[in-house]
Homo-oligomer: A and B are copies of this chain.
Amino acid sequence: MRVTIRDVARAAGVSVTTVSRALNGAQDVGEETRQRVIEVAKQLNYRPSHVARSLVLRKSQNIGLLVSDFRKGGHHFLYDVLVGVHDTLAEYGYDVTLVSTDTARQQLVSYVDFCRARGLDGVIVTGIRLDDPYVEEVVESTLPSVVIDLPLLSRHCGYVMTDNVNGARYAVRRLVSRGCRRIGFVNGAAHAAVSRERLRGFEEAVRQYVGVYDDRLVVYGDFTLEGGQRALAELLARAPDVDGVFFASDLMAIGGLQHCRAAGIRVPEDLAVVGFDDIDLARFVTPALTTIAQPRYEMGCEAAKMLVHMLEKGEMPSGTLLPPQLVVRETA
């Protein structure tokens, strides 16, 4: 059936030991036998079994991508992260298998046990929140992991996220440079770590660039389109003189845009708007949304890179912030 190392050994007239050595580039095998083995292996189209190899080596060259909100129609975010992770992991010779918290939960096992049963060497965690029951597991477990978009740091757990405070700063700087002086902030869910950071950046920046900070100008829209509409309406009711607003997500910003159209508010003349994320939609809505782009793909790459460094070089996990980028379109 399958062609094994034994078949190659037989065909090449050597032992399996020698075949293994020859193919893996070990040193103590004669150059001519090595060539012969390689030749024979190619002839037979021999592919070493990753499974057998994993068993004996006790590592699988396989890492899990844990996603905790794996829903259809879901996250614009996840896809780019996923291909970033896959690309760089493939480069390092690792496979990636999908792990959903739902299926783990359904089987009543912790996700760590889930990964261990499959012999995964490590895991990249996406989509979890501060109040998630999983965060404890992530930081406690000895399974090497790196978390995306949540600052969790421990002996075996690093993180990578975008520099949210600077992102927020860029946003208000842009608004100020366009002449805005009363700047509002529609933040996302209050318990999200990113919300806290964006708020901090926002506050720092308005203190620095406009001088006076008024915390009644921040409202919450919990990251949804409708939330954005509602929040902007509330903000405007509270302070009709705001001339610019920063939304903590593009989706909310688009909701805000819809409110503006309905209310006859001209964007950007009456009200300048900048979002956060740079989702696909942003360039297509009218007026096109200026926003702070998150380096989604790069976050995936960086997370993957950190994980294999931990695995192969024994590096300590760390926290890395990736720079966001202002992309200027029509709304500010």
Q: For chain A, residues 71 to 85, give those with C-beta under 8 angstroms from any C-beta of chain B.
A: 71-74, 76, 78-80, 82-84
Residues of B within 8 A of A113 (CB): 45, 47
Q: Within 8 Å of chain B (Cβ to Cβ): is A118?
A: yes
A49 to B117, Cβ gap below 8 A? Answer: yes
Partner among B74, B95, B280 whose Cβ is within 8 Å of the Cβ of A83: B74
Q: Mark interface residues in A221-237 (1 if CB within 8 Å of B CB, else 0).
A: 00000000000000000
Q: Mark interface residues in A159-189 (1 if CB within 8 Å of B CB, else 0).
A: 0000000000000000000000000000000
Q: Within 8 Å of chain B (Cβ to Cβ): is A17?
A: no
Q: Within 8 Å of chain B (Cβ to Cβ): is A62?
A: yes
- Chain B residue nearest to A298 in the complex (CB): B72
**A side interface size, CB within 8 A:** 49
Q: Within 8 Å of chain B (Cβ to Cβ): is A97?
A: yes
Residues of B within 8 A of A98 (CB): 82, 86, 95-98
Q: Within 8 Å of chain B (Cβ to Cβ): is A134?
A: no
Residues of B within 8 A of A82 (CB): 98
Q: Mark interface residues in A186-210 (1 if CB within 8 Å of B CB, else 0).
A: 0000000000000000000000000
CB distance from A226 to the nearest CB of B (A): 13
B51 to A119, Cβ gap below 8 A? Answer: yes
Residues of B within 8 A of A212 (CB): none
User: Copy number in this complex?
Assistant: 2
Q: For chain A, residues 278 to 302, give those with C-beta under 8 angstroms from any C-beta of chain B.
A: 280-281, 284-286, 296-297
A73 to B62, Cβ gap below 8 A? Answer: no
CB distance from A57 to the nearest CB of B (A): 10
Partner among B49, B106, B119, B286 whose Cβ is within 8 Å of the Cβ of A50: B119
Partner among B50, B71, B90, B116 whose Cβ is within 8 Å of the Cβ of A118: B50
Bound together, the chains give a CA A51 to CA B238 distance in angstroms of 61
B109 to A284, Cβ gap below 8 A? Answer: no
Residues of B within 8 A of A72 (CB): 80, 83-84, 296-297
Q: Within 8 Å of chain B (Cβ to Cβ): is A263?
A: no
- Chain B residue nearest to A286 in the complex (CB): B286
- Chain B residue nearest to A45 in the complex (CB): B113
- Chain B residue nearest to A279 in the complex (CB): B280
- List residues of A whose CB falls within 8 A of some B CB: 2, 45, 47-52, 54-55, 60, 62, 70-74, 76, 78-80, 82-84, 86-87, 90, 95-98, 100, 102-103, 106, 109, 113, 116-119, 254, 280-281, 284-286, 296-297
